Amino acid sequence: MKKRFLCSVTIALMLSGCGIGQPKEPDFPRYTGEPLNIAYIGKTPEVREDNVRLEEISFTELKNRKRIASTFDAVLIMPNKLLEADQGQYASLYRKMRIPMFFIGSNKGHVPFIADWISYKEAAGETTDYAAGYLNGKTTLFWTYGLYNDVKTKGHITAMYSNVFQTVETVKYKTQQ
């Protein structure tokens, strides 16, 4: 009888350490603010928000800064376009853009994109960040966004987009005042 009891306790303790009963992932809030128009270059971002309109543009279209700034609230450059995005010809374009630029999948911040003297590949120091944002307006602003527990899952990426959209709304309404 004692052996059965000890075996039952041992099995229960072993199972408790195997993920059963571990804390559930938090419920990440969605962006629920004002409607936003977001341009993106590259693969279509998967977002949860119905109040965010996404439109694909090209690097060629991005060169028309006035049209882009008057049509969109921000631009996302997706991971599959980061190497193309860091070409020196675009650095001054990002610095002159009057809406936020976000480099999704960048673990090296925004500097390799706005500095024409360094490339993304050559930039030192990888971080645990998953995205970087930049805006050079009345003051220079930049942001970094990580993923929950530094784990890349669809849920963590969509939560990161919600945070980006909140930043875009904050910047949009601050610049309108």
Rounded distance, CA 101 to CA 170, Å?
Answer: 14
Token code pair at residue 112: 């390799």
pLDDT value of position 107: 87
Model-level pTM greater than 0.95? no
Q: Return the ∠ at Cα 87 (arms to 134 and 73), rounded to 5°.
A: 35
Q: What pLDDT is recorded for position 111?
A: 83
What pLDDT is attached to residue 5? 47
Question: What is the reported pLDDT for 6?
Answer: 52
CA atoms of 109 and 23, how far apart (whole Å): 31
Digitized pLDDT (tens) for each residue of the chain, 177 residues in all: 555 545 554 555 555 555 555 567 788 999 999 999 999 999 999 999 999 999 999 999 999 999 999 999 999 999 999 989 988 889 999 999 999 999 999 988 898 888 878 777 778 777 889 999 999 988 899 999 999 999 999 999 999 999 999 999 999 987 655
Strands of the 36-41 sheet, one edge to the other: 52-56, 36-41, 74-77, 101-104, 129-136, 140-146
Q: Is the dihedral of CA 46, 49, 55, 60 positive or negative?
A: negative
